[in-house]
């Protein structure tokens, strides 16, 4: 089987509510999504998506994905999409780094490989759990009152997991954590996501002040060096998210004990092929995981769900459904959707969901 054509689509996905990371530091209103259709001479078609969370979240942006694909496309043309490692090596040779630009191609290849094998991607990867995965909300609010309101909105939709964005102001952050903990329901999973918003000193102040609550903080500071510098000086559990990009990052975090949890975002780490290795580093070092899309439509959520299903149930804290935050549905209600706060793995071979091409409009680039 050979890749014969790659079509690239650009779609804007507006957020239903404006959204702030790190206590108001970064604002997001619209996501720039790139959808990729890979065609083969066998007739099988695969879909991939790359949707960064705006341009300011991590070093990734929508136009960068499309430019990266322009460079990569000639090198993957003619390859067998079922041989995902060969496609991965061709992309890494053609364009070192730029993992987020490669992820949609990797995803579309896994979609085709699954269809060819007659298996959902998670089963092709070695076996997917059918235990529904709790969806984490993403609570991008600034004040304690707004935080309660947004959490309530998600609780009404059945959500039992929440990622509450804090960061920036020590006293306000301590107060917000205490407030959320005071209304936390039994069994609810809450992660306090700083999105790199603290200096080392701010991180130490909040993380020591909150030790009595034993709550988890995600990405407290900008870099792994910062997280390493404060590690051992506080007793709060840590999840690393933005600073977990490469396999080398994963081995460093594991070896140096910098986090108890990995936040694996598929687009950031370069897709399923690379994310599966990071998963394995986590598992052998007794590190749990949140597995998510970086953003995007139900297609991106579904890709993350497949990887999440290959993580043992006890080690997978939650996934995320960005689809619940955007106003455009490119797949007409198909694919895994929120059912009482959980996503269920699709049984259809491959990814298990495809977009409506008329919603995508004309491709912005076609390579053959």
Catalytic residues: 165, 265
Residue selected from 193, 226, 288, 303 as contacting Mg ion according to rule CB under 5 A? 193
Residue 147 sits at φ, ψ, to 5 deg, of -60, -45
Cα–Cα distances in angstroms (integers) from residue 313 to residues 195, 229, 307, 310, 318, in the given order: 26, 32, 12, 9, 10
Residue with smaller CB distance to ligand 0XW, 138 or 147: 138
Strands ordered across the beta sheet of 3-21? 45-50, 26-40, 3-21, 365-367
**Interaction between residue 57 and ligand 0XW (CB under 6 A):** yes
Q: How far apart are the first and last CA of the chain?
A: 15
Residue 282, contacted partner among ligand 0XW, Mg ion, none, CB below 5-8 A by kind = none
Residue selected from 195, 202, 297, 323 as contacting ligand 0XW according to rule CB under 6 A? 195
Give the number of other Cβ atoms within 10 Å of residue 61's Cβ.
17
Least gap, CB of 193 to Mg ion (angstroms): 4
Q: Which of residues 77-136 bind ligand 0XW (CB under 6 A)?
A: none
Site string for Mg ion, 241-260 (x = CB under 5 A): x-------------------
d(CA 214, CA 226): 21
Least gap, CB of 98 to Mg ion (angstroms): 21
Residue selected from 294, 297, 302, 323 as contacting ligand 0XW according to rule CB under 6 A? 294
Read off the DSSP letter of residue 352.
S
**Interaction between residue 159 and ligand 0XW (CB under 6 A):** no
d(CA 302, CA 367): 26
Site string for ligand 0XW, 253-292 (x = CB under 6 A): ------------x--------------------------x
Residue with smaller CB distance to Mg ion, 290 or 367: 290
**Interaction between residue 218 and Mg ion (CB under 5 A):** yes
Q: Which of residues 214-243 bind ligand 0XW (CB under 6 A)?
A: 241
Q: Are 36 and 49 in contact (CB under 8 A)?
A: yes
Cα–Cα distances in angstroms (integers) from residue 80 to residues 113, 114, 194, in the given order: 9, 13, 41
d(CA 246, CA 249): 5
Tell me which residues touch Mg ion (CB under 5 A). 193, 218, 241
**Which residues here bind ligand 0XW, judged by CB under 6 A?**
21, 53, 57, 138, 163, 193, 195, 241, 265, 292, 294-295, 320
């Amino acid at each position: 089987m050979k890749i014969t054509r790659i079509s690239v689509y650009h779609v804007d996905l507006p957020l239903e509510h404006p959204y702030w990371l790190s206590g108001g530091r970064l604002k997001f209103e619209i996501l720039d999504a790139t959808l990729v259709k890979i065609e083969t001479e066998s007739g099988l078609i695969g879909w991939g998506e790359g949707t960064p969370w705006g341009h300011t979240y991590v070093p990734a942006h929508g136009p960068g994905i499309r430019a990266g694909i322009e460079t990569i496309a000639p090198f993957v043309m003619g390859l067998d999409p079922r041989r995902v490692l060969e496609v991965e090596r061709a992309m890494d040779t053609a364009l070192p780094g730029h993992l987020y630009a490669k992820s949609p191609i990797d995803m579309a290849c896994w979609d085709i490989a699954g269809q060819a094998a007659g298996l959902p991607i998670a089963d092709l990867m070695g076996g997917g759990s059918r235990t529904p995965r709790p969806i984490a909300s993403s609570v991008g609010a600034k004040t304690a009152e707004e935080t309660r309101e947004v959490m309530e909105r998600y609780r009404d939709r059945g959500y039992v997991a929440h990622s509450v964005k804090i960061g920036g102001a020590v006293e306000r952050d301590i107060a917000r954590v205490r407030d959320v903990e005071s209304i936390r329901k039994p069994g609810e999973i809450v992660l306090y996501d700083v999105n790199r918003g603290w200096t080392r000193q701010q991180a130490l102040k909040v993380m020591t002040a909150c030790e009595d609550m034993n709550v988890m903080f995600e990405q407290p500071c900008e870099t792994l060096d910062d997280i390493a510098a404060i590690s051992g000086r506080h007793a709060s559990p840590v999840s690393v998210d933005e600073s977990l990009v490469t396999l080398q990052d994963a081995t460093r975090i594991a070896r140096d004990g910098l986090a108890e949890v990995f936040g694996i975002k598929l687009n950031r780490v370069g897709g399923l092929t690379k994310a599966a290795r990071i998963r394995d580093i986590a598992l052998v070092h007794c590190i749990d995981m949140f597995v998510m899309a970086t953003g995007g439509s139900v297609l991106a959520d579904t890709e993350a769900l497949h990887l999440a299903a290959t993580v043992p149930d006890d080690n997978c804290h939650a996934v995320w459904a960005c689809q619940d935050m955007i106003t455009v549905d490119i797949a007409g209600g198909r694919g895994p959707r929120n059912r009482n706060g959980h996503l269920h793995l699709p049984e259809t071979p491959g990814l298990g969901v495809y977009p409506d091409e008329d919603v995508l409009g004309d491709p912005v680039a076609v390579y053959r």
